[in-house]
Amino acid sequence: MQKVAVIGAGQVGSQTAFWLLLKKICEVVLIDISGDLAKGKALDLEDLGAGLGIDFNVKGTKDFSKIRDSDICIITAGLTRKPGMSREDLLKENKEIVKRICNKIKKLAPQSIVIVVTNPVDILTYFVFKNLGFSRNRILGMGSSLDTYRLKNLISKRLKVSIDCVESLVIGEHGKCMVPLFSKTYVNLIPIREILNKKDLDSLKEELLDRGKRIVESLGKGSAYLAPGFCCAEIVESILQNLKRTIPVSFYLEGEYRAKNVCIGVPCVISRKGVQNVVEIKIDKEEEQLFLEAVRFLKEYT
């Protein structure tokens, strides 16, 4: 089987491992500085597999050498947000953690595709890209896919329709500069701008921007992990099975969407190559302006 290393055995890491094992597409190695945590999560997952009637091929350890020759390395390690803390507040602490992980990946899994989940994800994806020196198609961050699912959910709840009726997309920074593309949002094939007025759409956007903060404040400790784990596993599945799904991920741009030298959320075709190509769709002027503002914001940290 193909091998996926999940670096960081916290809530997001263990949920990612669960979804991957449930899909039966790879073996999983859970790595954590706390070997007991990684081992305990792996043993628990094994027992869960038994209950589901599936052989979960998972190991938990603090031994970084176990990532050797992994097809994919997923970086979830790092501090999580606390109430009142922004994603930017995390940067200083998590940068050092991620730097140490990059050194291990370069040595032990130099052919792997790397998925960054640790926040602030766009800035750290850029940091990982520059540190590893891999081709850009092999470095991506999970962010906008989660924002897109959140938007679909909020629209579904507001309009009291099934999630299946909603088509939407979010690009930009995974944070306050995210850009919900209402020009590309449809409910039962009807453009959402024909259903909701600008005041309602602005309210929907504010609700989307506050979603992560609301989860953090409600949990009291830690941040979202169930949906992020699923999003990450979906990206991995598209890579390992060469599904070529179009998924919004944080990716290093070289002129696409009029942006260069920045990692930011855009729709990409995800295949065995990692990011096969960026999908450039036509967005309206206001959305383009907001996206370029997000680019400028992120460049302040690069």
Indicate whether 66 belongs to any domain: yes
Strands of the 166-167 sheet, one edge to the other: 166-167, 186-187, 190-191
User: In whole numbers, what is the pLDDT of the chain averaged over residues?
Assistant: 95
Indicate whether 21 belongs to any domain: yes
Whether 64 has a pLDDT exceeding 80, the answer reads: yes
Alpha-carbon gap, residue 127 to 296, rounded angstroms: 16
Q: pLDDT for 102-146, tens place per residue?
A: 999 999 999 999 999 999 999 999 999 999 999 999 999 998 999
Indicate whether 266 belongs to any domain: no
User: Any catalytic annotation for residue 239?
Assistant: no
Whether 81 has a pLDDT exceeding 80, the answer reads: no
Q: Which of 122, 129, 29 is nearest to 72 (CA)?
A: 29
CATH of the domain at 135: 3.40.50.720
Q: How far is CA 280 from CA 132, 287, 293, in A?
A: 26, 13, 18
- The DSSP bridge pattern shows strands 139-141 and 170-172 to be unpaired
How many structural domains is the chain composed of?
Answer: 1
Total count of residues recorded for the chain = 302
Q: 90 and 69 in contact (C-beta within 8 Å)?
A: no
Whether 90 has a pLDDT exceeding 80, the answer reads: no
- pLDDT, average across residues 280-302: 96
Q: How far is CA 82 from CA 69, 90, 212, 215, in A?
A: 35, 10, 11, 10
Q: pLDDT for 222-279, tens place per residue?
A: 889 999 999 999 999 999 999 999 999 999 999 999 999 999 999 999 999 999 999 9
Alpha-carbon gap, residue 175 to 179, rounded angstroms: 9
The one-character DSSP state at 164 is: G
- pLDDT, average across residues 32-60: 97
Indicate whether 279 belongs to any domain: no
| pLDDT for position 33 | 95
Domain boundaries, position 46: 3-143
Whether 87 has a pLDDT exceeding 70, the answer reads: no
Percentage of the chain lying above the pLDDT 70 cut: 98
Indicate whether 138 belongs to any domain: yes
Q: Which of 159, 255, 137, 256 is nearest to 204 (CA)?
A: 159
Q: pLDDT for 151-206, tens place per residue?
A: 999 999 999 999 999 999 999 999 999 999 999 999 999 999 999 999 999 999 99
Indicate whether 108 belongs to any domain: yes
62 exposure class (CB count in 10 Å sphere: 0-12, 13-18, 19+): middle
Indicate whether 152 belongs to any domain: no
Indicate whether 80 belongs to any domain: yes
Alpha-carbon gap, residue 274 to 262, rounded angstroms: 18
Q: CA 48, 113, 249: angle at the middle one, nearest 5? A: 85
Which position among 3, 81, 138, 174 bears the catalytic label? 174
